[in-house]
């Protein structure tokens, strides 16, 4: 009903992307710019694969920030606050991050790697991704 009303008023309603959720998660987990850029790089890889088209963007963002924290800190601290804020338990987030890790380590996307090799993105494409 609401959608029909908005359409009749010519409102441009869109769905949030993984990047928008990632921006929110950055504040939630108090991530630094390096962690955010690495997570952004990881979410971009999810757009290349059909297997992620049915995964909610918020879950992709959670998996990406989880994997980025694990890669940079050696561990990820998905705690009860994150569970309450996102609605995703660590087990589910870890499954998504494991799948993202597999895709990144097996994929070869030069344009994406070149984009994130720039100083603007803190050269995160050269960082090792944790398994």
Instruction: Give pTM, 2 decimals.
Output: 0.85
Residue 118 within a domain: no
In a domain, 12, yes or no: no
CA dist list (Å): 46 to 1, 28, 33, 107: 32, 22, 20, 11
Does residue 54 fall inside a structural domain? yes
The rounded mean pLDDT for the chain is 89
Task: Provide the residue range defining the domain that includes 57.
Answer: 17-110
Mean local confidence (pLDDT), 30-39: 94
Q: Tell me, what's the pLDDT at 55?
A: 95
Of residues 14 and 89, more confidently modeled? 89
User: Is residue 73 domain-resident?
Assistant: yes
- CATH number (domain holding residue 59): 1.10.472.10
Q: Is the pLDDT of residue 107 over 80?
A: no
**Residue 76 pLDDT > 80:** no
5: in domain: no
Question: Given a cut of 90, is residue 108 above it in pLDDT?
Answer: no
Checking 87-91 for CB contacts under 8 A at 24+ apart, the result is: 88/58, 88/59, 88/62, 90/66
Considering the domain boundaries, does residue 121 fall inside one? no
Average pLDDT score over residue span 19-48: 93
Asked if the structure places residue 86 within a domain, the reply is yes
Count of domains forming the chain: 1
What pLDDT was estimated at residue 89? 96
Whether 126 is in a domain gets the answer no
Assign 37 a pLDDT band (cuts: 50, 70, 90).
very high
Report the helix count and the strand count for the chain, using DSSP H and E. 7, 0
């Amino acid at each position: 009903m609401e959608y029909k009303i908005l359409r009749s008023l010519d409102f441009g309603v869109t769905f949030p992307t993984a990047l928008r959720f990632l921006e929110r998660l950055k504040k939630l987990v108090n991530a630094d710019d390096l962690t955010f850029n690495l997570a952004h790089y990881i979410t971009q890889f999810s757009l290349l694969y059909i297997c992620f088209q049915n995964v909610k963007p918020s879950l992709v963002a959670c998996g990406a920030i989880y994997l980025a924290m694990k890669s940079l800190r050696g561990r990820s601290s998905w705690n009860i606050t994150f569970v309450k804020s996102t609605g995703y338990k660590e087990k589910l987030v870890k499954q998504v991050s494991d799948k993202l890790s597999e895709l990144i380590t097996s994929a070869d996307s030069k344009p994406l790697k070149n984009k994130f090799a720039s100083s603007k993105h803190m050269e995160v494409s050269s960082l090792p991704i944790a398994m």
